[in-house]
Amino acid sequence: MPELLVSPEWLHENLDAVRVVDASWYLPAQGRDAKAEYREGHIPGAVYFDIDAIADTSSELPHMLPAPEKFAEAAGALGLSETSTIVVYDGMGLFSAPRVWWTLKTFGAREVRILEGGMPAWKAAGYPLEAPAPSPSPARFTPRLDAAGVADIERVRGTLNGSGEQVVDARPAARFRGEAAEPRAGLKSGHIPGSRNLPFDALFAEGEPQRLVGQDRIRALFEAAGVDWQKPVVTSCGSGVTAAILSFALAAAGKEDTAVYDGSWTEWGGRTDTPVERGEA
């Protein structure tokens, strides 16, 4: 996975040659404040990418992708261009960084990598943090939207009618089966009919939380969940964050025909015109 992941050692040696992005974001239940943690200390030179602000704020759905021109303006203000070599990390190790990795790639960034182990690995290696936020020189980001990598609700509806794409849901098994209530009020319980379930944390190495297992193991886990490796995959979750972990893992294992369902269960489970299944896939 050398083209997708970099080690803390590599990043420390190449800080002056890359753009570093803090992509930290937490669920309310995690009780952490990503912005406050960034202000207290971040990897030197890192800018903060707020997935709730660099988003379609007119949508009722959380952190939906913004229009290309809005994204380009925000990315440019952070000193990012589509030709930059960008390294993304988050405060948990591998949680929200894949969402920002996917967002940057979707809008045409060519070289985007994730810091393996994230902030915990950087700290464990003994590398320094800085507190003042940097003032990056504005850059020009020329967006080129990869529409094939973004699934909307109509595309997901097509999977119900034999489109050939497979939906893989990253939520915990109890939520997928409809046995546990959704954390967002007003959502139905269950899953998209015909979808498969691979909880995102199943992709983490034992004893190394928030680090991906190897490429062969990634493929084996998806196949064990009922995924046909030869067919395209649409990933989903609660709101499009942990779905990107699945997409990143698929990319790490060499699979390219993937997309993220941006609205995910917040959209599907919040509507009255969408069918729902409960129980095992």
Ranges of each domain in the chain: 5-145, 148-268
Q: Is 68 helix (H, G, I), strand (E, B) or coil?
A: helix
The confidence score (pLDDT) of residue 2 equals 54
Residue 176 CA, chain-centre distance (Å), reads 19
Q: Look at phi and psi of residue 240 and say left if phi exceeds 0, alpha if psi is from -120 to 50, else beta.
A: left
Cα separation, 167 vs 88, in Å, equals: 26
Calculate the average pLDDT of the chain: 96
Amino acid (1-letter code) at residue 111: E
Say if residue 65 is exposed, middle or buried (CB neighbours under 10 Å; 0-12, 13-18, 19+).
Answer: buried
The confidence score (pLDDT) of residue 10 equals 97
Which residues participate in catalysis according to the annotation? 237
Q: Is 122 helix (H, G, I), strand (E, B) or coil?
A: helix
Instruction: Tell me if domain 5-145 and domain 148-268 are identical in fold.
Output: yes
The 10s digit of each residue's pLDDT in 8-62 is 999 999 999 999 999 999 999 899 999 999 999 999 999 999 999 999 999 999 9
pTM for the structure as a whole: 0.97
Residue 118 pLDDT > 60, yes or no? yes
What is the average pLDDT across 227-250?
Answer: 98
CATH assignment of 5-145, among 1.10.10.10, 3.40.50.300, 3.40.250.10, 3.30.310.40: 3.40.250.10
Alpha-carbon dihedral 74, 76, 81, 82, rounded to 10 degrees: 30
What is the average pLDDT across 93-113?
Answer: 98
The 10s digit of each residue's pLDDT in 124-174 is 999 999 999 999 999 999 999 999 999 999 999 999 999 999 999 999 999
**C-alpha count within 13 angstroms, C-beta hemisphere, residue 244:** 25
Looking at the DSSP bridge assignments, the partners of residue 111 are 85
Residue 92 pLDDT > 70, yes or no? yes
CATH number of 148-268: 3.40.250.10
